[in-house]
Every structure is written in structure tokens, then in C-alpha cells.
A and B are shown apart, each in its own frame.
Chain A
Amino acid sequence: MGFEGIGASVRRREDVRFLSGKGNYTDDINRPGQLYAFIVRADRPHARIDGIDTAEAEKAPGVVRVFTGADMAAENLGGLPCGWQIHNQDGSPMAEPPHPVLAVGKVRHVGDPVAVVIAETRQEAKNAAELIEIRYTDLPAVASLTDAVAAGAPEVHDGVAGNICYDWVIGDKATVDAVFAKADRVVKLELTNNRLIPNAMEPRAAIGDFDTSSGDFTLYTTSQNPHVIRLLMGAFVLHIPENKLRVVAPDVGGGFGSKIYHYAEEAIVTWAAGKVRRPVKWTAERSESFMSDAHGRDHVSTAEMALDKEGHFLGLRITTLANMGAYLSTFAPCVPTYLYATLLAGVYKTPVIYCNVKAVFTNTVPVDAYRGAGRPEATYLLERLVDVIAHDTGIDKVELRRKNFIPADAFPYQTPVALQYDSGDYQTTLKVALANADWNGFEARRAEAKARGKLRGIGISTYLEACGIAPSAVVGSLGARAGLYEVANIRVHPTGSVTVFTGTHSHGQGHETTLAQLVVDQLGVPLSQVEVVHGDTAKIPFGMGTYGSRSLAVGGSAMVKAMDKIIAKGKKIAAHLMEASVQDIEFKDGSFRVAGTDKAKALHEISLAAYVPHNYPIEELEPGLDETAFYDPKNFTFPGGCHIAEVEIDPETGVVEMVNFTAVDDVGRVVNPMIVEGQVQGGVAQGIGQALLESALYDPHGQLLSGSYMDYTMPRANDIPAMSVATENTMCTHNPLGSKGCGEVGAIGSPPAVINAVVDALKDHGVRHLDMPATAPKLWSIIQAAQPRLAAE
């Protein structure tokens, strides 16, 4: 069996089922008597609904029912709730306009659900949907941040003045302004963070099931956090108590954040199943995913750094506009605030920071967390700004970073923007990355590329991020309407095999392997005897799910705590069986031994005694070996590292080729190095996608232009270079594993490295900054514009 514990590159056990087509995804599930829902969506960005005529549709073949927003409103159902409340700088709460499940009164973005047809087949539902007549009066719409905040802009929500959801600040403006007033130099940069569409491989799907005998509801859904959906949908939307509502998130084919949120379709199928007393299934078509899955990013910022003569960072001042889309998605408000502005110190000891964020409503799909969520925005801004400072001051960009790093002996380090970093060593990740990327040999590679007619550039990003957002009390004080702990139930069965019930959810990350390795490590049970169960509120005590790279750091830590309880109880049973005192029992390599003797009992002997308690301390101890732990972390974890990108640009066409990518990340304790490498590679691929290819484009009136793969450019394998991925880890100091998280580092660290490389390649073309994505036509225009100047030199 070989080494299978912490540190082993065990092959992902779940892949056998995924690669052989045996995964069990929501759309693979079919319930007896199942009906199909087709959702009629707004084809326009902003309009008043003057009337909906469903009469013809209701008479169409196969149609069981047609529902509109009015039907839901008649039952006093709730709207889709927002899970995070931000306060304005004047102390008042953010604007939180209603978010009806099916539109009431107005539609506010292309894709806004208006009506649902429930029919015997998907085809019949779709046929009938064409017979629904919706009378609209079009209203003026806004799609871009700058248009939405312009004077006289149309209002997305009545009474939300200027489309401002909130106007929030962190840091003291007067203090920061005073630092700027005295600074030797100020460097300023305006930049955007492009809007992205998540594009999980599996489109969203949901099945509502109503048990007519028990009155219980079951929702099967493509979710990253079934318990959160049960809470939000049950308590706020449909008013179904937890004991009557089960949420199952079976195999889920990728989420990247977009499957965290409680979506209208989940409530629609569950509610409709109760109405028609039959199961109701909905599966998104890909074009629906483009206009109904929450989008990501979409910031416009101005950043300024105050510097002394040597290039030390004295103060940072930022204003950001963040697009919320038409409605507040579940966690949208926290993304540009507590997951963004609190990260603006990065790896630097900038003493004072002020950031003002205005969140803005537009007639676009709601925007929420997407792989990295706020931290990519902060990292991109900072790491571009640092490169621009190097450009403007002439200080070497590596030297500039080095001299401003928080030193390795400064931890725990309190930043000026609320966070306290527990550990890190930025000089080391930098040093190793420079070596792995052969940074010093770059100029020779640039010259060689030039001889081939190519413009070669190198870019660096030294980033920091925050995972495992916690503790509950702190996030609660910041506006979270939920706790952020995690839950594990460890069940040691009579013969010593183990089932782990985790509140985290795996949708491609490989938890069934990684989490099982923790059991191998701590309980000494072979991997083949460990099962990991997730994604079902009927099986798992509770859980907050998977996002923000929290599963190992928080969920894994909950497992450690639960296994500690197993061991503690096992010691009592072992002491009884071996007639020793509990204090003398040691647990190691799967055996309970009496210290200093050769007396030992294996875990399976203890578990058998626990379930067959013939010879058992029954007066003091309950039978069974089954323990649950709720783990609420003391702090975030802080992965960080250094990414280096190398690109070549074809000056004739502007096409960028990624030629090298080097990542050296500090992710804390590594449980499975192969999975970590895969997570970093995947994240970097997404980061390259954002930097070079992807862009969700709306026309000025709110029509989605990049609404299919014909127009939205996903990175493909041949856009991604072979990568050098390594880790240089410092341990997280406040969780029992020392792990920090690796799911998002790739998507956070890489985009600025790529753009820095592109700008470096164009340094002779007078480029100081360019916005993502660095597409060929954009670069070609820049190169063209520089030709006369270059020719004159």
C-alpha cells in the first residue's frame, strides 16, 4: 500500500469514476414522475413588465403549470437573500433592494427569470415558453461602472440614488492624505479588473422533489455548500424548516465560486415541486449559464502610492468602483470590501492605507466571488502599481519589492487594514522563484527572441492572499450573516474502517483523497478503509461548504479535532481492556499501547469493543466510536508566494504567447503534493485566461456580447505553457494542520505577473500600463502607435 499519509502524492481516488463517466451529477439524477422546468428569461436589460399572458402556454401539450413572479408573490415567499451586510462610511447600512425569485414589476438584466413552464418533457416546456406573451416597456439601462455613476444615469432600482449600493471606507483618510502631502514622490495608476464569466464545466442544474406522504422537500443541486442553501432557501425564501428540507449536492463539475450562491432556479424547482406534487428538474443550457451564473471581478480603480526617495512605500490611497450587477448575489458585498481592501497591504510593510469602495448597481448579471474573490483584484492592483513605481522611479522591480517586504521575523504582523498575518517568508519564495525562472538569464533570452523577430518580456508578482475566512465572531462583526466554522463527523465502524462526514464539498478539488489522507495520518487506517462523504444535509451534521480555499485549513482542522476525540475515547476503552490507567495509554501508528510495555490494542480492536461492549466501561462511557467537531478558526490563513511569467509577442500581429511560467507558493502544510500542483496549475490557467483572453463584454445598453463560446475566450490547453510549480512553506500557526490553502493562489498571483511580462515586452514601445485582457488587436494597436516614435529614434 505504500505511504498514504500527509505528504504522499496519492492518486485522486475520485478520478476513476469521473474519467470513466460514472460520476453522479445532478443532471444524471432522475426522480420517478419527474417534470421539467424551462425558465423564460428577460431578453432585454431593463424594462417594466406591463403584462404576462400565459393562457396559450398553459393549454400547450404536456404543460402542467406556468408560474410567474405574481404567483410567488401571492404566497408571500421571500426574495433571494444577501448573506453579507456592508455599512456606508456614514454608518448607515447598504442599499439592499428586493431580489424576487421571478421578476416582479421590472426586469433588470438580460437573463432575469420572468416565468417558468413546468411540463412533461423539456421540449414541451420549451415549446410552451414560446407561447408566453410578455408585454414590456423598455427603460434606459446602464451596463458599465462609469455609466452607472455618471450624473443623470438611469436608476437600476427605484430609490437607490446614483446606483450606489454602498460607499465604504477602510483606513483614515486624513492620516493617509497627510502622508501623501509630505511624500517625496507619488505614483498613480488607473486600472480596471476585467469582468469574467466562470464557466464551470458542468452547467448548473436543480431538481425539486416533494414527498407527498411525509411532506418533505428534497433539492438536488449543483452547489458548493448544500447546508448554506438549505438555510438560505428554507429560512428566507420558501419558509421550510430544516427538518422538512434536505439538500443534496452530489458530484459537482467545477464551481470556482459560481456555485456558492443561492440561485432563483433552486427555489423555483423546490417550490414548484410542492405545487405540482411531482419532482421538477431544471438544467441550464450553456447560453443560460452565461446570463445567469454570477459573474466575477469588474472593478475600476485609481491607486496612488506615496514614496520616499529610496522607494520605500509610505502610504497607499485607493478608490474603487465595484460592479454588483442588477441584484446582490449571496456574498457579493463582501468581495470588494473584506476580501479586497483588507488585502491591500499585500506582502509590503506600507504603514498607512486608505481605500474607498463604491459598489454599484448596473443592468448586468449579478457579480460575486469568483476563484480568488477580491484577492485577485487587490493583488492585480498592487503588483501592477509596484511595477509602475519601478517604471517611473527607475528602481529595479525586484529590488523595490525586496526593500518593502514584511521581513520574515516580523510575524505575527499587524497590517494597517485589519488583518494580522501569522506566518510567511516572502524573501524565500522570491529567491527560489527567481532561481527557478532563471531570472538572471532573461536578457539573453530576450536577445535571442529579438533575433527571431519576437518581443520577449518577463513579469513578476509577489502576492499574498487570505483563505479560510474566520473567525465567526469577527466576520459577524464585519457584516456576515453566517458563521464560518466547519464541521466533521468521524465514524469509526465496528471493524475499524472509517467514514468521514465533512461539511466541506468537493467539486473537483480531490477531497475524497486529501481528506482521507488525514485519517491515514492520524488514525493509522489504510486509505482503502476510509470513505469521505460530503454534499448531503441528511448525512452530514452541518457545514459551511467549500470556497475561499477553506476545506483543508478549516474542514481538515475540524477532522483533526474530531479524530482527537476518537483517540481520547479510544484511550479510555484501551485502558479498560488492558487494565492500565488512561494516562499511560499512547496512541501511535494505529495502536493504543501501554507506555513502556509491549501491550497494545489496534484501533479495530478498540472499535469492536466500542460497538460490542461486552467487556466495556459501560458505567463511565457510552458505546460507539463516532465523534463530531465544530472548528471555528482563530484567524484567516495567509498563503503567498511569487509568480513569474515570460511571454513573447509577435509584433506583426500582437499575438502573445506564454512561454514560461514559474510559481513558488507558500501554502503551509502540504497533504498531497500532486493535488497541490494540480490546483496551482488550474488556478494559473484561469489567471492566464483573465490576463490574456477572457472578457465578459456588454454593449452600452446592457446586451451581453460575449454570450457564448463563439465570443467568450476560454483558455485552452495550448494557451498554457508547461509550468514550474514549487512550494516553499511556512506553517500556519493557528490551525492544527499548519495548512493554509492552495485552491486560489494560482488565479490570484498570476494575472499581474502575466501583464507585467507583457508590459515589459513592450517597454521600448512607451507602454506604462495596459488593461486586461492583453488581446492581440489591443497589443497590435499599441505597437502600431509606437512605430513612428521608434522609427525616429
Chain B
Amino acid sequence: MYDFTYDKPGSLADAVKLLSDDMDAKALAGGQTFIPVLKQRLNRPSRVVDLAKLGLSGITVSGDKVTIGAMTTHATIASSAEIKAKIPGLQHQASLIGDEAVRHRGTMGGSLANNDPAACYPSAVLALGGTIKTDRRSIPADEFFQGMFTTALEQGEIITSIELPIPEKSAYEKFRNPASRYAIVGVFVAKFPSGVRLAITGAGQGGVFRHTEFEKALSANFSPDAIAGIKTPADGLNSDIHASAEYRAHLVNVVARRAVAKAG
């Protein structure tokens, strides 16, 4: 990696200032995406601001929502009894990310800020209709994800926590890329009294997206059969050496049905 200045501020205000004063400064969370990028010299930040000392990790449940600190690791979420009780789909999803080492370093905030089109959490946050809280505002999930590796975050803006409404039912089903184990197609389904939300990661060229046709059918009848006949067009889906767009389009249906079956 190239040389950079390293800071580990103790307050959110200091971190925001360091990141806002310098266009080439970047935040560091678990480093599971960022450090490999640095090692490959694909990014040349002037300053790296470590978010580890900002007190941004932890899980709280209050009333009808779960709040997860941005620096909470995948391992913490995967092993949280509260998450398992309230949003079992999210607990299962976290347990499927990477390997033990990745899960003990990687964070939910980092994953969302990165918005990799094959990452897992964006599907949960979008399907649950969560809210991304930052140092300056609250961003609804429907506005946060803006295409692959692109989010609504401004330069220097730090995610502090993620607020997730508790659904009646939830499940995540992941069809893994056999090499990287990221999602070729990942489906998160959440059933609320108001209806069903379902988000798909891995498949779309523009990153995570909601499947409104599935949502409509499932809101009327929450069963795999309800969506069995709904075809997803291959246009706009990713195609690579691991899966063609046609195969992904087919998997979207298979994986969604399995997610619904799992949600019960």
C-alpha cells in the first residue's frame, strides 16, 4: 500500500472533521474490504481515519425496532440472541458472511458504506425498510443504496448506527459464488403487518433492489407458490464467469422461494 497518515480519533466530531477537511481521507472500519484495496494499491488515501474508538458498536432492542451500531461486527450480530429472536434472517445472514476471521473484523456500517453489489447486508436493510443514521441525518434505506459501490453518503459522512424495524417474519437465503462465497443471488424477505418487502443482492447490475412483483404476490399470499410463476427478466442482471444473467434471473426465483419457505 501507499503511505498515508493514520488517525484514531476518540470522538465522532473529530472523526468527521478529519474526514471532511481532506477530500482524500477515508474511514477505516473492519478493513475487510478497505485493507485489500489498499494492498492492491487501488486506492491512495492521504489519511486513514480509524473509527474503532468512537463507541459505535452494540445492539439495542427497544419496542418495535433494533438498533445496531455501525462498528458492530458480523460475528457479534451472528451470535446475538436478541437478533436471533427479533430478526432471525439477519442473524443467519451475518453468519454466512465470509469466514470467521472476516466476521470478527468486518462491520455492518462498513459493509453498507461500501455497498458491494454482491454483499449481503444491503438486502436485509432494504427489505426491512431500515434507516441509516449518520453523524448528521437519517437516511431511509430506500434512498441510501444508489447503485453498485454508490450510496447517499456525502464526503466525510459517517454511519453511526442502523435502525431496523422488527418484522413478523424474516429470512435470508444466499446462493453463493463458489469461489468468493459472496452472493451470486441473495434474497432477504421480511413480512410486516403492512405487507412484505423483499430485496435481492448479487444479481443486479445496479446493486441491491426490491422485487416489487414478488412483494405484491407475497403480501397477498405469503407462500413460495405465490411467486413460483413470476419470471424475472435477465436484462439489467449481472453476467460473469460464474453465472450468466439468465441463470441469475432463474436463481432469483428459486432463492426467493427458498427464503419465503424458510421464513415460514
Report A's interface with B, CB cutoff 8 A: 123, 126-127, 287, 652-653, 693, 697, 705-706, 709-714, 775-777, 780-781
Contacts of A775 in B (CB 8 A): 178
Of B40, B175, B179, B254, which contacts A711 at CB under 8 A?
A: B179
Q: Which of B235-264 contact A (CB under 8 A)?
A: 241-244, 247, 250-251, 254
A712 and B178 alpha carbons, distance in the complex (Å): 9
Would you call A780 and B247 a contact (CB within 8 A)? Answer: yes
- Shortest Cβ distance from B39 into chain A, in angstroms? 8
Known contacts A652-B254, A653-B251, A653-B254; A713 and B244 CB within 8 A of each other:
no
Of A652, A653, A711, A781, which contacts B241 at CB under 8 A?
A: A711
Of A126, A652, A777, which contacts B242 at CB under 8 A?
A: A777
Contacts of A713 in B (CB 8 A): 178-179
Of A126, A712, A777, A781, which contacts B179 at CB under 8 A?
A: A712
Of B3, B180, B242, B250, which contacts A780 at CB under 8 A?
A: B250
A776 and B2 alpha carbons, distance in the complex (Å): 40
Would you call A706 and B178 a contact (CB within 8 A)? Answer: no
Contacts of B178 in A (CB 8 A): 693, 713, 775-776
Task: Report 12 cross-chain contacts, Cβ distance below 8 Å, ordered by A residue.
Answer: A653-B254, A693-B178, A705-B241, A706-B179, A706-B241, A709-B180, A710-B177, A710-B179, A710-B180, A713-B178, A780-B247, A780-B250
Known contacts A697-B241, A777-B242, A777-B243; A709 and B179 CB within 8 A of each other:
yes
Report the nearest A residue to B175, measured CB to CB: A653
Report the nearest B residue to A130, measured CB to CB: B41
Contacts of A287 in B (CB 8 A): 40
Report the nearest A residue to B255, measured CB to CB: A653
Known: A652-B254, A714-B179. 15 other contacts (CB 8 A): A123-B3, A693-B178, A697-B241, A705-B241, A706-B179, A710-B177, A710-B180, A711-B179, A712-B179, A713-B178, A713-B179, A776-B178, A777-B242, A777-B243, A780-B250
A777 and B178 alpha carbons, distance in the complex (Å): 11
- Shortest Cβ distance from A351 into chain B, in angstroms? 43
Most chain-B CB neighbours within 10 Å: which of A697, A706, A713? A713
A693 and B177 alpha carbons, distance in the complex (Å): 11
- Shortest Cβ distance from B83 into chain A, in angstroms? 24
- Shortest Cβ distance from A754 into chain B, in angstroms? 15
A712 and B177 alpha carbons, distance in the complex (Å): 10
Q: Which of B139-177 contact A (CB under 8 A)?
A: 175, 177
Contacts of A777 in B (CB 8 A): 242-244, 247
- Shortest Cβ distance from B64 into chain A, in angstroms? 36
Most chain-B CB neighbours within 10 Å: which of A714, A776, A781? A776
Contacts of A712 in B (CB 8 A): 179
Report the nearest B residue to A780, measured CB to CB: B247
A685 and B175 alpha carbons, distance in the complex (Å): 22
A722 and B200 alpha carbons, distance in the complex (Å): 34
Report the nearest B residue to A650, measured CB to CB: B254
Contacts of A127 in B (CB 8 A): 2
- Shortest Cβ distance from B33 into chain A, in angstroms? 12
A93 and B242 alpha carbons, distance in the complex (Å): 42
Contacts of B244 in A (CB 8 A): 777
Contacts of A123 in B (CB 8 A): 3
Report the nearest A residue to B240, measured CB to CB: A711
Most chain-B CB neighbours within 10 Å: which of A705, A706, A711? A711
Contacts of B177 in A (CB 8 A): 710
Contacts of B247 in A (CB 8 A): 777, 780-781
Report the nearest B residue to A699, measured CB to CB: B241
A287 and B40 alpha carbons, distance in the complex (Å): 10
Contacts of A710 in B (CB 8 A): 177, 179-180
Contacts of A714 in B (CB 8 A): 179
Contacts of B40 in A (CB 8 A): 287
A652 and B257 alpha carbons, distance in the complex (Å): 11
Most chain-A CB neighbours within 10 Å: which of B177, B179, B242? B179
Report the nearest A residue to B1, measured CB to CB: A123
- Shortest Cβ distance from A781 into chain B, in angstroms? 8
A700 and B37 alpha carbons, distance in the complex (Å): 28
User: 7 shortest A-B CB distances, which residue pairs?
Assistant: A713-B179, A710-B180, A713-B178, A777-B247, A652-B254, A711-B179, A777-B243
Q: Binary interface profile of B, 200-241, with partner A (CB < 8 Å = 1, else 0)?
A: 000000000000000000000000000000000000000001
A709 and B177 alpha carbons, distance in the complex (Å): 11
A652 and B178 alpha carbons, distance in the complex (Å): 17
A755 and B244 alpha carbons, distance in the complex (Å): 23
Contacts of B251 in A (CB 8 A): 653
Report the nearest B residue to A287, measured CB to CB: B40
Contacts of A652 in B (CB 8 A): 254
Contacts of B41 in A (CB 8 A): 126
A664 and B207 alpha carbons, distance in the complex (Å): 48
A126 and B2 alpha carbons, distance in the complex (Å): 9
A123 and B254 alpha carbons, distance in the complex (Å): 48
A693 and B2 alpha carbons, distance in the complex (Å): 35
A777 and B177 alpha carbons, distance in the complex (Å): 11
A780 and B246 alpha carbons, distance in the complex (Å): 11
A714 and B99 alpha carbons, distance in the complex (Å): 15
Report the nearest A residue to B180, measured CB to CB: A710
Most chain-B CB neighbours within 10 Å: which of A706, A775, A780, A781? A780
Most chain-A CB neighbours within 10 Å: which of B178, B180, B247? B178
Report the nearest A residue to B253, measured CB to CB: A652
Report the nearest A residue to B179, measured CB to CB: A713
A653 and B175 alpha carbons, distance in the complex (Å): 9
